[in-house]
Amino acid sequence: MSFTLVLGGARSGKSAFAQGAAEARAAETGGRLVMVATAQAFDSEMAERIDRHRADRGPAWTTVEAPADLAPALDGLGAGDVVVVDCLTLWLSNLMLADRDLATAAAELVESTARFPGALWLVSNEVGFGIVPDNARARRFRDEAGRLHQALAQAADAVTLVVAGLTLRLK
């Protein structure tokens, strides 16, 4: 049982890092590879992106879609599962757009990582390195993402930052 938080900017290589680590773990343990996807296809470009990601992963991966109810999705997976959740910032956006209680959802996610019986990588965009956004919704998103990352980093066994395809282990 292990939990790794993977942070990085857009197109930093964080998803490739998490998927590669999960594939290596599954090869060692014989565990089932599971991608928990949080994206929703609200337009054709996003639908194409989702299809491309699914094709790139290949048939070895089982996909579970959890755009909002992430903790219950994790609770439904088993001890031998090797799981990548991609990505938390899309999940957070989905919750904000649905006007969900973010603090409760974040607490439930942290709790589900503590009881998760397999190997788990949570992927998220680090959005705190940029300028202060010019509107209240974007500032709230940045703040909520920062709080979520801090809580998950405390709970994680390992935290990795990915920049330009290079990894830096923070914890």
Instruction: Show which residues are catalytic.
Output: 53
**CA dist., res. 171 & res. 44, Å (int):** 38
In this structure, what are the phi and psi dihedrals at residue 51, rounded to the nearest 5 degrees? Answer: -60, -40
**Contact 125/114 with Cβ under 8 angstroms?**
no
Of the CA atoms within 13 Å of residue 36, those in its CB half-sphere come to 26
**CA dist., res. 54 & res. 52, Å (int):** 5
Q: Residue 59, class by beta-carbon neighbours within 10 Å (0-12 exposed, 13-18 middle, 19+ buried)?
A: exposed
**Contact 74/120 with Cβ under 8 angstroms?**
yes
